[in-house]
Amino acid sequence: MSAHISSEPIASGPARRKPVTPPDIAGRKGGEPIVCLTAYTTPVARMVDDHCDVVLVGDSVGMVLHGLPSTLGVTLDMMIMHAQAVRRGVRHALVVVDMPFGSYEESPAQAFRNAARIMAETDCAAVKIEGGVAMAETIRFLVARGVPVMAHVGLTPQAVNAFGGYVVQGRGEDAGRVLADAQAVSDAGAFAVVLEKITAPLADRITCDVAIPTIGIGASPACDGQILVVDDVLGLFQDFRPRFVKRYAELGADADTAIAAYAADVRARRFPAAEHLFDAPSPTGEPA
């Protein structure tokens, strides 16, 4: 006797979105813009995961959370620790982890050892490497061995000393260098490339010329996607306002007001009040 198969739909909870993969991002070239933000902690990762396609654990963590003057002091262990925290909070977005300064430049073999460690210890799906023509061989080496790579050209913060500061790249004759860098990482197999702090016309040209999606930060709205540091978006730093950042909140000012109110309450003995205490006497004299 055959079993009866009901035609009624099976009840289920909310559909869980499919996790984003590097091929998914590569396939977005010329399509719906790719939304990217940084995250360094589990709570922030949970918030941005609902809205982003890519969550980058950037080496900017050194400046944003650790107070370093640049990204150069960030270590592999620091990146792994923060990437583990972010990965715990992400269910949908593609988690990409920056390879810090000194962890990949020596040789493709060094880059693979450290990229493999990052992926194994954090469960991230891709790494990001700064540099263009000079890093093409390394990118090709990693991709051939199963490590998806997001590239990063233009202003590369790990080379800030060579650039003489955080200055706009790609002006005048320098445009050819940045264009060559972008083409080289595309040809080497990167699935996307970050274009940082370059002129808008150059970003437009690169976006048209290269086969992989471009992710702009201080570049152009014509890029295939955009990325910002989440702390900048939220306005957590009151005295840091780069031109390429749009603030969507002023949480730094709100936090300052809240902390000042807390301090005033403590000094005036208004906090803690009775409602914050255990076994405090009630107005009738009975324990609460």
Binding residues: 59-60, 98, 128, 130
Binding residues for Mg(2+): 59, 98, 130
- DSSP state for residue 4 in the 8-state scheme: P
Q: Contact at 8 Å (CB) between 35 and 53? A: yes
Q: Contact at 8 Å (CB) between 233 and 38? A: no
Among candidate residues 121, 196, 275, 286, the one labeled active-site is 196
Residue 147 C-beta-side C-alpha neighbours within 13 Å: 28
Whole-angstrom Cα distance, residue 156 to residue 201?
Answer: 19
Cα angle 115-51-247, degrees, rounded to a multiple of 5: 95
Rg of the chain in Å (alpha carbons)? 23
Q: Contact at 8 Å (CB) between 254 and 57? A: no
Q: Does the annotation mark 196 as catalytic?
A: yes
Kindly tell me the sign of the dihedral angle through the C-alpha atoms of 12, 13, 14, 19: negative
Within the chain, residue ranges assigned H as helices are 22-26, 42-49, 61-64, 76-89, 108-122, 136-144, 160-163, 174-188, 200-209, 230-233, 251-267
Q: Which has the closest alpha carbon to 203: 187, 185, 189, 222?
A: 222
Binding residues for 3-methyl-2-oxobutanoate: 59-60, 98, 128
Peptide bond into 242 cis (omega under 30): no
Q: Is 130 exposed, middle or buried (0-12, 13-18, 19+ CB in 10 A)?
A: buried
Active-site residue set: 196
